[in-house]
């Protein structure tokens, strides 16, 4: 600020270094305006937080005016209260004055250059996300892209407060910058990004923000757990070789200690004879346990298998995360428990592959986040743990997180507190307001009141290179808004209104996760067979108990025989494996000391099998 700007007021009264009062002598001054105050450090930026008109008219005189209608000349003056924001030092750091302002100093409206410089609105079209205009100014607000993706985002508002609209604006900006995105779309709102905005009312506002209708259809790919339909592809999760700890994380019902033991033992025994296995294999193996704890384990596993989202070959994460592309996981019509499992498992796969560098850095957007990472005491979700992990560790590996919710009080506070960029729209619920103030840095008790009064379409934004919370009029969307409220009554009498019945696609067929049976020629290499299974196959073939070249068929035959004799399956198979390791070697078998040498090469009866078990 080189020239002395026009004065709009004078500092008066007791003056501090963090706030002051000033008289207002210009009608231009309004609440939340930015003002410039002179200080020995230079021009300091402050913001008008309250403005009042005082008069010499007393209540008794006002009553007399009402009675006789005569009004005497009334003396008035306007006073404002301002909070000090600060100034930039030579290093570019935001500093607050350490000495009070001078009484009698003239106050002026802050020029845009000072506002931009002090608030940190330095990001431009090239490296920023254009979210809208600074409230009360024709000053574009661009949020730093790197800060947005690296340090997590939360978008909070009441129902109808404009959170999905603001998130849509953010997605448009990130798509322009070719940032890979994955959106958990709970209500199917974001596929409208493929359609340009043709709303007449909004097209009038586009000139104000300098934008035009546009669509991002070429960058959008839709996925759904319900199967392929139209432009939406089917999403399948990898259900092969799940470890016990992974299954426990996916179960809604918590297992007890003995039940967990049954699950671990079943998978351990399964690994000894199979290199690959499915959830169905685990269920069958748990069923062989003699523990009564197995029944709850089987019920939980059956519930997990019945959601039909696990497959032998899951959709690779490379299909979801591509440079310049946005993958929308459309959960519309999907039961909440299945949504929870899909989000939990998919997020884990994305996080693990991002740590290994299999996919590029990206941003995960979670709509209706209170369903997937609820605060303790408001329910539980299988996706909570992995989302907490991404919130605390994702920054180090280039996986950003954006949580969107209409109930901030019900979202895990650990996740909200990890979000450095906060976009807060109108919120009125006292519990939600309290949660926001406690979890978001830089907000004060005075902000508590202002958030309730925010008009629809105005957001309080903090973080992303912006030093203090600022109010921003969110720009008009370039694409159609899929979250617009449905019209219940319009024109005419209520009885004249007929709701439109949406056309629903045919229910998808259940996903067949059973392996396709194939004949394995004797010369072909065996798959899904361990060395231990090959040893059992060799012993059983030499004894003449089986006449099949496929080791897998041998294991199945011996398992069935053990069931018929009510013998422990794995004790039975292990006894054959031990015989193979001690005596029946592949080369130079030790037949002289083998306890089964007399019966070798002959078909054994069931009694012979039982006798073999007792001898070994």
Question: Domain spans of the chain?
Answer: 7-119, 128-235+315-496, 244-310, 533-615
Does residue 15 register a pLDDT over 90?
yes
Sign of CA dihedral 146, 147, 149, 155: negative
Cα separation of 616 and 612, whole Å? 6
Does residue 300 register a pLDDT over 50?
yes
Q: Flag the least confident range among 87-91, 222-226, 312-316, 486-490.
A: 486-490
The confidence score (pLDDT) of residue 507 equals 53
The confidence score (pLDDT) of residue 602 equals 43
CATH class for the domain made up of 128-235+315-496? alpha beta
Does residue 250 register a pLDDT over 90?
no
Three-state DSSP at 47 gives strand
The confidence score (pLDDT) of residue 551 equals 86
Q: Flag the least confident range among 15-19, 380-384, 486-490, 512-516.
A: 512-516
The confidence score (pLDDT) of residue 386 equals 93
The confidence score (pLDDT) of residue 45 equals 94
The band of 403, judged by pLDDT with boundaries at 50, 70 and 90, is: very high
The confidence score (pLDDT) of residue 325 equals 94
Q: What digits encode the pLDDT tens for the residues 406-426?
A: 998 999 999 998 998 999 999
Percent of the chain whose pLDDT exceeds 70: 87
Q: Which helix (H) or strand (E) holds 400?
A: strand 399-405
b (16+ CB within 10 A) / e for 226-264: bbeeeebbbbbbbbeebebeebbbbbeeebeeebbbbbe
Does residue 355 register a pLDDT over 70?
yes
CB-facing half-sphere around the CA of 11: CA atoms within 13 A:
24
**Residue predicted with more confidence, 243 or 497:** 243
Q: Are 487 and 193 in contact (CB under 8 A)?
A: no
Q: What is the mean pLDDT of residues 52-73?
A: 77
* Per-residue CA distances from 258 to 45, 142, 291, 368 (Å): 65, 56, 9, 36
Token pair 């026009």 is found at 6
Q: Are 606 and 545 in contact (CB under 8 A)?
A: no
The confidence score (pLDDT) of residue 75 equals 87
Cα separation of 325 and 221, whole Å? 8
Q: Are 169 and 474 in contact (CB under 8 A)?
A: yes
Does residue 473 register a pLDDT over 80?
yes
Q: Flag the least confident range among 148-152, 203-207, 308-312, 440-444.
A: 440-444
Q: Flag the least confident range among 120-129, 271-280, 422-431.
A: 120-129
Q: Considering the chain, what is the average pLDDT of its residues?
A: 84
Q: Flag the least confident range among 47-61, 171-185, 476-490.
A: 476-490
**Residue predicted with more confidence, 520 or 120:** 120
Does residue 123 register a pLDDT over 70?
no
Q: How many CB atoms lie within 10 A of CB 327?
A: 24
CA-atom Rg of the chain in angstroms: 35
Cα separation of 508 and 228, whole Å? 8
The confidence score (pLDDT) of residue 497 equals 47
Cα separation of 170 and 345, whole Å? 26
The confidence score (pLDDT) of residue 495 equals 45
Highest mean pLDDT: which of 70-84, 116-130, 137-151, 414-428?
414-428
The band of 586, judged by pLDDT with boundaries at 50, 70 and 90, is: confident
- Is pTM beyond 0.85? Reply is no
Percent of the chain whose pLDDT exceeds 90: 38
DSSP at 229: B
Give φ, ψ of 577 to 5 degrees.
-65, -40
The confidence score (pLDDT) of residue 64 equals 73
Q: Flag the least confident range among 190-199, 405-414, 465-474.
A: 465-474
Does residue 366 register a pLDDT over 60?
yes
Q: What digits encode the pLDDT tens for the residues 159-189?
A: 888 899 999 999 999 999 999 999 999 998 9
The band of 486, judged by pLDDT with boundaries at 50, 70 and 90, is: low
**Residue predicted with more confidence, 299 or 515:** 299
């Amino acid at each position: 600020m080189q020239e002395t700007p026009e004065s709009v007021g004078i500092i008066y009264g007791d003056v501090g270094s963090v706030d002051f009062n000033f008289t207002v002598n210009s009608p231009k001054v309004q609440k939340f305006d930015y003002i410039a105050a002179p200080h020995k450090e230079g021009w300091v930026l402050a913001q008008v937080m309250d403005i009042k008109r005082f008069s010499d008219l007393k209540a008794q005189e006002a009553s007399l005016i009402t009675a006789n209608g005569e009004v005497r000349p009334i003396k008035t003056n306007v006073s404002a209260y301002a909070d000090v924001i600060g100034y930039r030092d030579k290093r570019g750091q935001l500093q607050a004055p350490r000495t009070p302002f001078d009484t009698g100093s003239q106050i002026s409206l802050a020029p845009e250059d000072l506002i931009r410089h002090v608030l940190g609105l330095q990001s431009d079209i090239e490296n920023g996300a254009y979210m809208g205009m600074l409230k009360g100014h024709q000053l574009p607000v661009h949020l730093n892209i790197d800060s947005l993706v690296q340090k997590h985002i939360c978008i909070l508002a009441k129902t109808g407060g404009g959170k999905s609209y603001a998130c849509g604006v953010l997605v448009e900006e990130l798509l322009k910058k070719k940032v890979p995105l994955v959106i958990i779309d709970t209500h199917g709102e974001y596929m409208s990004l493929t359609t340009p905005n043709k709303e007449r009312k909004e097209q009038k506002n586009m000139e104000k923000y300098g934008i035009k209708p546009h669509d991002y259809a070429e960058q959008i790919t839709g996925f759904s757990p319900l199967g392929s339909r139209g432009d939406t592809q089917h999403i399948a999760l990898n259900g092969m070789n799940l470890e016990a700890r992974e299954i426990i994380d996916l179960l809604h019902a918590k297992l007890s200690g003995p039940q967990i033991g049954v699950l671990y033992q079943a998978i351990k025994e399964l690994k000894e004879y199979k290199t690959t296995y499915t959830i169905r294999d685990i269920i069958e193996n748990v069923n062989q346990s003699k523990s009564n704890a197995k029944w709850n384990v089987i019920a939980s596993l059956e519930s997990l298998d019945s959601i039909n989202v696990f497959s032998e070959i899951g959709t690779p994460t490379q299909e979801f995360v591509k440079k310049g592309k946005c993958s929308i996981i459309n959960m519309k019509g999907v039961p909440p428990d299945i949504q929870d499992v899909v989000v939990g498992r998919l997020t884990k796969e994305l996080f693990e592959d991002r740590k290994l560098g299999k996919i590029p850095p990206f941003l995960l957007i979670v709509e209706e986040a209170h369903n997937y990472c609820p605060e303790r005491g408001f329910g539980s979700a299988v996706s909570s743990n992995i989302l907490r992990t991404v919130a605390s560790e994702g920054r180090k590996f280039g996986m950003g997180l954006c949580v969107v919710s209409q109930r901030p009080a019900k979202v895990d506070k650990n996740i909200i507190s990890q979000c450095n960029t906060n976009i807060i729209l109108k919120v009125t619920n006292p519990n939600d307001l309290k949660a926001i103030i406690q979890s978001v840095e830089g907000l004060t008790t005075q902000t508590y009141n202002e958030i309730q009064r925010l008009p629809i379409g105005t957001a309080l934004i903090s973080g992303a290179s912006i030093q203090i919370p600022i109010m921003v009029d969110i720009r008009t969307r370039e694409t159609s808004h899929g979250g617009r409220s449905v019209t219940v009554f319009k024109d005419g009498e209520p009885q004249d209104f007929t709701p439109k019945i949406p056309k629903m696609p045919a229910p998808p067929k259940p996903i067949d996760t059973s392996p396709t049976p194939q004949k394995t020629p004797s010369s072909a290499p065996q798959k899904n067979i361990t060395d231990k299974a090959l040893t059992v196959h060799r012993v059983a073939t030499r004894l003449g108990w089986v006449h099949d070249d496929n080791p897998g068929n041998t294991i199945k035959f011996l398992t069935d025989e053990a069931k018929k004799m009510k013998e422990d399956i794995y004790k039975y198979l292990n006894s054959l494996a031990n015989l193979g390791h001690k005596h029946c070697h592949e080369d130079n078998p030790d037949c002289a000391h083998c306890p089964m040498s007399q019966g070798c090469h002959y078909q054994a009866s069931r009694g012979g099998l039982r006798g073999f078990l007792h001898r070994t």
